[in-house]
Amino acid sequence: MIDPITQEIMKLYLEHQGLPQELSPTDQQAFLETESERIAERIDNMKIVMEQQVLQRYMRDNGQPPPYMEKVGMINQAWAQATDFVINEEIYGQLPPEMEAYPPDQESPEAEAERDQARIQVHKSDPERWRNPLNCADPDKEADRLTDQLWKGRPVQFLYYAAHLIAARIEDNEPYPTSQNHPLYPSFTSQLDERVDEHAASGK
């Protein structure tokens, strides 16, 4: 069962971010839940960071811990600021000026890996996922070898997309060119040229 905080984040995410239209309704729901849980986890991590900061600052300035009730108030305020920080950054895409000095929380390698894996899983059914390689697993050696064989000498950005396109086709058990004489080679090359041009024009 989804906890109330995550449910509230899901509502905000829907209102201000929306969902990838290329995904099926089922995948959209999975994406929404995964993103909301990630944001909720960031809030929890940031609460810990900011609570420690405010208590350490008090100790440094006063030479002793704060009285109990004052400590409770300081922690509650730190938690509220942590929530605002993450929500503003993740949902609204901006930070209030008074919060710009706060350091970002550090996500553990394990949590980051889990989040990346969840995102890859959500997009796994999308045949166009290669266009945004962050949504793809890393190409294996076979995909890298074939990419180099087919498009050797092409720019790095082209090869980057090419490796992910070939890898996606292999994963999906779909046809892909195996030589420059293959019937699919021209269309694949055209798709990749188009994607590189899009990236050059938009920066993403």
pLDDT of res. 145: 93
CB 173 within 8 A of CB 139: no
Whether the per-residue pLDDT at 117 is higher than 50: the answer is yes
78 or 125: which carries more pLDDT confidence? 78
Alpha carbon of residue 98 to chain centroid: 25
pLDDT (tens digit per residue) in 170-198: 999 999 999 999 999 999 999 999 999 98
CA dihedral over 114, 102, 40, 136, signed as positive or negative: negative
**In the structure, what pLDDT confidence band is assigned to residue 2 with cuts at 50, 70 and 90?**
low
88 or 162: which carries more pLDDT confidence? 162
pLDDT of res. 173: 93
pLDDT of res. 200: 82
pLDDT (tens digit per residue) in 121-151: 767 778 898 998 888 888 999 999 999 999 9
Average pLDDT over residues 94-117: 52
The burial class, CB within 10 Å (0-12 / 13-18 / 19+), for 144 is: middle
Whether the per-residue pLDDT at 69 is higher than 70: the answer is yes
> Around Cβ 176, how many Cβ atoms within 10 Å?
18
CB 54 within 8 A of CB 75: yes
Helices (H) and strands (E) in the chain, counts: 7, 0
Q: What are the φ and ψ backbone dihedral angles of 17, each rounded to 5 degrees?
A: -115, -40
CA dihedral over 46, 47, 48, 51, signed as positive or negative: positive
Residue 82 to residue 76: CA distance in whole angstroms: 10
Residue 192 to residue 24: CA distance in whole angstroms: 25
Whether the per-residue pLDDT at 3 is higher than 70: the answer is no
| Domain residue ranges in the chain | 4-99, 128-202
pLDDT of res. 108: 53
Average pLDDT over residues 141-167: 93
pLDDT of res. 137: 85
Q: Tokens representing 63?
A: 């030479």
pLDDT of res. 10: 78
> Around Cβ 152, how many Cβ atoms within 10 Å?
9
CA dihedral over 175, 176, 179, 185, signed as positive or negative: positive
CA dihedral over 191, 173, 164, 106, signed as positive or negative: positive
Q: Which of 36-50, 64-78, 92-106, 134-148 has the lowest mean pLDDT?
A: 92-106
Q: What is the pLDDT of the chain when averaged over all its residues?
A: 82
CB 112 within 8 A of CB 134: no
pLDDT of res. 101: 42
Alpha carbon of residue 107 to chain centroid: 12
